[in-house]
Amino acid sequence: MSTDKTPEISFLRNVGLMMTYRCQVACPHCVVAAGPHRKEEVALEEALDWAGQIAGYRNGRIKVLSLTGGEPFCCLDKLKKIIDFAARSGMFVTVVTNAFWAKSQDEAVQVLRKLEGLKMLGISADAHHQMAIPFDRVRNAILAAQECGLSLRILAAAEDEAAPAHQAMLASLHELTSPENLQPVATFLAGRALAEIDASRYRTSGTPCQSRCAAAGAPVLFPDGQVIACIGALIALPIRHPLVLGNLRENSLAEILDKAEVNSILHTLRIWGPSKLVSMIEQSELKCELPSRYIENTICDPCYKIMSNPRLAEWVAQLATDHDHKRTVAYGRAYHLKEIEMLNSLGWR
């Protein structure tokens, strides 16, 4: 996909909140390594405080709160309280689930009607999830969401989009909902997938994906207070990198997001994509550190491969402090994305 055909991406209109690492299943492709053994979960008091900060940021700039996990329906009472609070604050609330709770359509309807402020249901449905979650649960959740008038987004992950199992899954989903509700995505080769997914299943290319990054405009809050610029593969990294924006136990959300306005690496990804970083590294002394192959048409892969390499991550961190690069990015935002906030923040306009 060429960058000139990629739609403009609004910055800081959607913020995610990862509620828990708990899940009924431990899928082999889970980037956060969620499962029944995980106990980490956002405290309700902090979640409500953070949701209030999200709603109040720049007089309501952030329009969408996306709740994710792990499995948010593991803590249904807490989920309801957060949704109610966010909805009263005027936000459009979405939640992503594996639909384990949808034992029948009637039961699924009853659950969803308890979540009165919910506007969109996201469902993860793919060959990995369905090894443990019966597809009937997915069907029940889809039909219940439609009955309750909710918008739908079905996330169907696969290593190879042409794989028969993936195509069969898409065909089953097409029978239940409109194609525009389906979002096929590539399985991130990160987190648990590094150990449990056969990398040879992926189609690869000698050049990285050329798209700019849509996810980088939507930061995610984690139960420990950490704020990361996107919900992509980078969240699996234990090391700090320029897309770790801050921690809510140390600074307010406004301070963290205001600082993100001038994060030149974040906006490089939004304007040009990780292929821009690859091309810059190719002109440096660290060219030999770059991988020879990238997962085909997968925007997260080159970014993850750069940030997971300590030498390349340090190079990117140094680039983030470079005055000339910041200036290039600030003017690039104004030209390509029609955003002048970075120029204003740096006093260059």
- How much is the pLDDT for 238? 75
Please, which residues have CB within 8 angstroms of residue 86's CB and are 6 or more apart in sequence?
Answer: 51, 54, 55, 65, 93, 117
Of the CA atoms within 13 Å of residue 320, those in its CB half-sphere come to 20
pTM, two decimals, is: 0.93
Q: How many CA atoms lie within 13 A of 215 on its CB side?
A: 18
- Cα distances from 265 to residues 8, 43, 46, 217, in angstroms, run 18, 31, 29, 12
The string of pLDDT tens digits covering residues 138-153 is 999 999 999 999 999 9
What pLDDT shows up at residue 239?
72
Answer yes or no: is pLDDT of 249 > 90: yes
Q: What is the pLDDT of residues 289-312, one digit of tens each?
A: 999 999 998 999 999 999 999 999
Question: What are 134's two structure tokens?
Answer: 């019966």
**pLDDT band of 4, cuts 50, 70, 90:** very low
8 pLDDT higher than 70? no
**∠ CA(187), CA(298), CA(70), 5° rounding?**
35
Q: 213 and 11 in contact (C-beta within 8 Å)? A: no
What are 104's two structure tokens?
């029948």
Range 197-215 average pLDDT: 93
Report the alpha-carbon distance of residue 62 to residue 47 in Å, rounded: 16
Determine the Cα–Cα distance for residues 105 and 43; give it in Å rounded to an integer.
Answer: 31
Which pair of structure tokens corresponds to residue 113?
A: 């009607």
CA 7/CA 342 separation, integer angstroms: 20
Q: What is the DSSP letter of 229?
A: S
Q: What is the DSSP letter of 152?
A: E
> Any idea which of 35-39, 237-241, 275-279 has the lowest mean pLDDT?
237-241
- What is the helix, strand, coil percentage profile of the chain, to 5? 45, 15, 40
For the purposes of burial, counting CB atoms within 10 Å of the CB of 131, is it exposed (0-12), middle (13-18) or buried (19 or more)? exposed
pLDDT band for 5, please (50, 70, 90 cuts). very low
Quick one: pLDDT at residue 9? 53
